[in-house]
Amino acid sequence: MSEERSKELLAHYAQNPIDFSWIPSPNQHSYRWRTNKGRWVTARRRIRNHQTLAKAIGKDAVSDLYISTSRWLNPIDLPRLRDKERPHQILLDHLIGFDIDVAPLSLKNLEQARTTAIGLHNYLASDTSMEFLICSFSGSKGFHLYYSDLERDKFAIEDPKEREEAVKTSRKQLLTQVLEEGYNVDERVTADTRRIIRLPGSIHGTTGYQCTVLGLEQLEKPLKDLLEDIPRIESAQKIPKRARMLKKKAKKKKSKQRKTVADTRAVQQYMVEASTHVPGTKDRSVIMLWLPLAWGSGQKALETALNMINEEKLGPCSFWQQGDRILMLCPLALPRAQVVKLFTSYKMSKRAAILKEREHDWIRITNTMYEDADWQDELQPIGLYGDEVGSKTSFSSSHLELERRMGIPRQVPSSATFAGNQEPTLRIAVRE
Q: Where are the domains positioned within the chain?
A: 3-228, 271-431
pLDDT of residue 131: 96
The predicted pLDDT at position 86 comes to: 87
Give pLDDT tens digits for 377-425: 677 888 888 887 766 779 999 999 999 988 888 888 878 899 999 999 9
Amino acid letter, 27: N
pLDDT band at 85 (very low <50, low <70, confident <90, very high): confident
Nearest to 145 by CA among 49, 217, 216: 216
Stretch 237-264: mean pLDDT: 57
Partners of residue 103 on adjacent β-strands: none
* E strand segments, 336-431: 362-364, 369-370, 374-375, 380-385, 394-396, 417-419, 426-431
Residue 10: partners with Cβ closer than 8 Å, 6 or more residues away: 61
Q: In 10 A of CB 122, how many CB atoms?
A: 10
Is the pLDDT at 199 greater than 60? The verdict is: yes
Residue 100's pLDDT band (cuts 50, 70, 90): very high
| Rounded Cα gap, residues 420 and 66, in angstroms | 38
Task: Give the Cα separation of 371 and 381 in Å (integer).
Answer: 26
pLDDT value of position 39: 84
pLDDT value of position 248: 46
Q: Rg (Cα) of the chain, in Å, rounded?
A: 24
Predicted confidence at residue 244, as pLDDT, reads: 54
User: How far from 222 is each of 136, 228, 297, 355, 362, CA to CA, in Å?
Assistant: 16, 10, 47, 56, 48
In 95-141, the DSSP E strands lie at: 96-101, 130-137
Query: Which CATH superfamily hosts domain 3-228?
Result: DNA primase, PRIM domain (3.90.920.10)
Amino acid 124: pLDDT = 96
Which of the 8 DSSP states describes residue 204? P
Q: pLDDT value at position 225?
A: 94
- Coil, helix or strand at residue 251: helix
The answer, yes or no, to whether the previous bond of 104 is cis (omega within 30 of 0) is: yes
Which helix (H) or strand (E) segment is 123 a member of?
helix 107-124
pTM of structure:
0.59
pLDDT of residue 249: 46
pLDDT at position 37: 80
Q: What are phi and psi of 301, to 5 degrees?
A: -65, -40
**pLDDT, tens digit, for every residue of 257-281?**
544 444 434 446 778 899 999 999 9
For residue 1, the model assigns a pLDDT of 58
Sheet strands side by side (includes 31-35): 40-42, 31-35, 62-68, 196-198
| Dihedrals phi, psi of 42, to nearest 5 degrees | -105, 135
